[in-house]
């Protein structure tokens, strides 16, 4: 079985577990923001050729960006087939992006609580996989570590059953550890090119958070009324995924690997 296919199956298994858990009603008490009042785009609609059920065309169609950047990552993973561990990590991360596009689209269009829960939950493994990637870069990648980190990440979402801020706490911890791990990898093995990619990922992560939180406030400005802050936050999110892929591809380039070998001798 090819590495890319295997990675896709593993991602599907995790998402299937999440969906079954949600369908069983175990997370029905989780707090989510459902309703078009939470999006600035609905207040600036103009007649269009889009169907009536697509109430927020910009926020809906931008999710195709996740599929595009995910497919780009899968294409990149084929270039690293001679490094199976890294190719697998890149393929898993890319498949998550491909799957996240339809998941986020479903949430935007339906404004359904369970769709919102899945959208939140799937976000966490993205950052957990950055940590796994760092282990791969540091040559300590193993299936046991991969499984442990993935399980901890998935199970951390159950903090939402303990407090209304459970998701924010879990996401904040994920982001903090991921940034720390990436910074450590950059310090040990990075160069100027990887640093630029890391800064790009961090900047877009900050942009994503800011633009999403201040969607309504930014809508007071003309430039954020046709394409709102939430739309641009998704652009930043897609760019964040792109720069993360570029960062780790650079750290696994032959030039960097040769430097690692030289330092160890």
- Compute how many other C-beta atoms are within 10 angstroms of the C-beta atom of residue 46: 5
| Per-residue pLDDT tens over the stretch 45-81 | 655 677 777 888 999 999 999 999 999 999 999 888 7
Taking every pair of Cα atoms in the chain, the longest distance, rounded to a whole number of angstroms, is 67
Could you say which DSSP state residue 226 is in?
S
The span from the CA of 166 to the CA of 154, in Å, is 13
Question: For 143, how many CA atoms within 13 A lie in the half-sphere containing its CB?
Answer: 3
113-137 and 166-189 helices cross at what angle (nearest 10)? 20
Is the pTM here over 0.75, yes or no? yes
Q: Which residues contact 11 (CB under 8 A, 6 or more apart)?
A: 92, 95, 96, 99
The span from the CA of 131 to the CA of 146, in Å, is 9
Cβ atoms 97, 69 nearer than 8 A: yes
- Compute how many other C-beta atoms are within 10 angstroms of the C-beta atom of residue 136: 24
- Residue by residue, pLDDT tens for the chain (265 residues) are 688 999 999 999 999 999 999 999 999 999 999 988 999 987 766 556 777 778 889 999 999 999 999 999 999 998 887 888 888 989 999 999 999 999 999 999 999 999 999 999 999 999 999 988 888 777 666 778 888 999 999 999 999 999 999 999 999 999 999 999 999 999 888 899 999 999 999 999 999 999 999 999 999 998 898 899 999 999 999 999 999 999 999 988 755 555 554 554 4
The span from the CA of 151 to the CA of 184, in Å, is 23
């Amino acid at each position: 079985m090819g590495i890319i296919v295997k990675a896709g199956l593993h991602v599907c298994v995790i998402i299937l577990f999440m969906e079954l858990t949600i369908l069983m009603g175990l997370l029905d008490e989780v707090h989510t923001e459902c309703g078009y009042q939470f999006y600035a785009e609905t207040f600036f609609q103009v007649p269009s050729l889009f169907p009536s059920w697509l109430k927020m065309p910009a926020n809906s169609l931008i999710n195709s960006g996740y599929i595009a950047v995910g497919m780009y990552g899968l294409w990149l993973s084929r270039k690293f087939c001679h490094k199976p561990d890294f190719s697998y990590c890149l393929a898993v991360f890319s498949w998550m992006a491909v799957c996240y596009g339809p998941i986020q689209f479903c949430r935007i269009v339906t404004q359904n609580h369970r769709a919102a829960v899945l959208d939140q939950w799937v976000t966490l493994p993205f950052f957990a996989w950055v940590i796994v990637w760092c282990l791969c870069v540091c040559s300590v990648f193993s299936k046991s570590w991969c499984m442990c980190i993935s399980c901890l990440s998935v199970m951390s979402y159950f903090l939402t059953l303990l407090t209304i801020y459970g998701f924010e706490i879990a996401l904040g911890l994920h982001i903090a550890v991921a940034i720390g791990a990436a910074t450590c990898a950059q310090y040990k093995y990075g160069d100027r090119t990887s640093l630029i990619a890391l800064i790009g990922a961090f900047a877009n992560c900050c942009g994503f958070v800011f633009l999403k939180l201040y969607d309504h406030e930014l809508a007071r400005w003309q430039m954020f009324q046709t394409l709102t802050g939430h739309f641009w936050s998704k652009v930043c999110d897609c760019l964040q995924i792109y720069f993360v892929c570029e960062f780790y591809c650079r750290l696994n380039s032959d030039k960097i690997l040769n430097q690692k070998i030289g330092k160890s001798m």
